[in-house]
Structure formats: structure tokens, C-alpha cells
Chain A
């Protein structure tokens, strides 16, 4: 986490945010190799609703830029919404859809209305062994494909191929495009920002970062320990 050791990042986060961390996943150490392991940074409202997320490790400049975007967009949304929660949510989701278009060259229709959710306390809801309901896997909004009004959309898509976690994504007509982790975060946030962090983290960690959520300790696996000791012994 070199970004968090940066003076400017620390100063900005301490000024505008109250920070905390949670362990949500683990990884394996096989021999000397680390398998899995990741980080997701959430920017939330004080009631735990997620405004934005950064998936995976990033440099100090990127984290600072994203933190500043959250603060500035929150100020604008508060001015625009004037104590109307529905308008605030719609503003944020549209802002994410706008960033997906401008920075990743793909368009989605921001979902500004949440359908009623299932009854989580019902007898038919799935639960883990401790009795808690399972973290849901949210559906991403359908992609409309590239933004044809922007000439640079194709160039953005070419650049997206080099982004962290870049992999294929399909639009609603079956067109094949490329989207990295951060593009996928904007796609998710265009439909689900301002939802509680407990409903979002599973999708971010499992669907975007491809990590399995777990609270198990780190597993150290050394499949052939005698190879190392024999080499040492000569």
C-alpha cells in the first residue's frame, strides 16, 4: 500500500475522510509465490452507502485523484439535490456513467431507481453457517456499446486493453469490448452506488477482482519442503 504512505494522500484523506480497514479475503503462499490477495478502497457516506470504489492497488496519484473526485462530486450533488436523497443518488450514478463514457469509451444507462429488494429475513433466504444472509452478487447494467458521439472512443478502448484487469465485456447486442477493473467499477456504480457497502463488497471482490471472500488466515503451502532443505544442505 505505497499510495497510503504518500504524504499528500494521507493529508487529504485525514482532512476529508474518517478511515478504517477490514480483512475480507485471504491468499495462499505456495513455496515463495503469493497466490491471490488484493485490496479495494471504498469512499462512503457516513451512513455506509458507497459513493465510489477503487478496485485493486493503485499509485498515490490515482488514489488522490479518485478521492478528490468523490469530494468534489459530493459537494456538487449536495448543491444539486438539496436534501433530496433520490436526486443525490441519481446524480452520483449519472456521474459514474459519465466517467465510464469519457474515460473508458463505453456507455451504460445509469439506473436511477432501485427495485424493491427481497425479504432478507425470510425463511427462504440463503444464509451462511453463522446465520447471516449471503453477500449478494449484483448484476451489472447492460452495456450500450461504444459512445459513437466521441471520436476518441475507439482510442479509449485500445488504451483500455492495457488497464489493470482488462478482459472482454459484451454489450446488449453481443458486441465484444474490453474493460479493466476501474471501468467495471464505474459500470457497477452506475447502477448500485449509494447502496450499503455490505451489498457491494462481494461483487467488487469476487466479480471484479476475481478474489474469493474469506476470513480464513493466510495459508502457507510448501509442497516440496525437502527440495529446499536438500539444496541448502548441499
Chain B
């Protein structure tokens, strides 16, 4: 009984050692064990940030984060406030 148990434990140890050897081999041959994504993730261009602005979102207008922030800046710089109310996602031209 004890001999059978010892054989099983030895078998388990051997199988895990074989698995580790396969993994190590895949690292040695230069191939990553982790599958690479089908398409490389394109780096999104960061929105242009001017002083106090949050970007132009593909337009020629510099937008601030919120209307209240725009209002504060307008008051400070003696300007008026331009607020767009849109449906959908402003950043995506399909949605505006």
C-alpha cells in the first residue's frame, strides 16, 4: 500500500517537472509563451492640451472640461462662453 502511494507521488513530481521543462524550452527558443494579440494596439494621439484646455477633439476649438470651468476662464479673461449640447459621443463624428 505504502509502495503504491510512493509511486503515485513520484509520478506526479515527474509530470510537473516535465511541464516546467517544456515552458523553459519555449522561453529559450525566443517564442513568448503568451500568445500575441492579433493586431498591435495603436497608440492613440493624446489630445492637444493648451493652458487650461482639455483638447480640441478633432476640431479647431479648444474645449475646457466642463461649462463651469469654461465660465471661470471666461470671467478671468473677459470672454463669453460657448457651450455645445450634443447627443451621442462628441469624440466620435458618427455620434454627433
Which residues on A are within 8 Å of B, measured CB to CB?
1, 4-7, 9-11, 13-14, 16-27, 34, 36-48, 51, 67, 70-71, 74, 197, 201, 204-205, 211, 218
In the complex, B24 has a CB within 8 A of chain A:
no
Chain A residues contacting B89 (CB-CB under 8 Å) are 23, 218
In the complex, the answer to whether A218 meets B88 with C-beta atoms within 8 Å is yes
Q: Which of A20, A39, A51 contacts B70 (CB 8 A)?
A: A20
Interface residues contributed by chain B, number (CB under 8 Å)? 35
Which residues on B are within 8 Å of A, measured CB to CB?
56-67, 69-71, 73-75, 77, 79-90, 93-96
Q: How far is the CA of A5 from the CA of B59 in the complex (A)?
A: 4
Chain B residues contacting A9 (CB-CB under 8 Å) are 60-61
In the complex, the answer to whether A16 meets B80 with C-beta atoms within 8 Å is yes
Most chain A C-beta atoms within 10 Å of own C-beta, residue among B62, B77, B80 = B80
Q: How far is the CA of A13 from the CA of B53 in the complex (A)?
A: 14
- Closest A residue to B87 using CB positions: A25
Q: How many A-B residue pairs have CB under 8 A?
A: 152
In the complex, the answer to whether A19 meets B63 with C-beta atoms within 8 Å is yes
Q: Which of B62, B77, B96 contacts A19 (CB 8 A)?
A: B62
Chain B residues contacting A71 (CB-CB under 8 Å) are 80
In the complex, the answer to whether B84 meets A26 with C-beta atoms within 8 Å is no
Q: How far is the CA of A26 from the CA of B88 in the complex (A)?
A: 5
Q: Which 7 A-B pairs have the closest CB atoms?
A: A10-B60, A4-B59, A25-B87, A17-B82, A20-B70, A21-B84, A18-B74
In the complex, the answer to whether B71 meets A205 with C-beta atoms within 8 Å is no
- Asked whether A5 and B60 contact (CB < 8 A) given A24-B85, A38-B87, A197-B67, the answer is yes
Whole-angstrom distance between the Cβ of A142 and the nearest chain B Cβ: 27
Q: How far is the CA of A197 from the CA of B73 in the complex (A)?
A: 17
Q: How far is the CA of A4 from the CA of B61 in the complex (A)?
A: 6
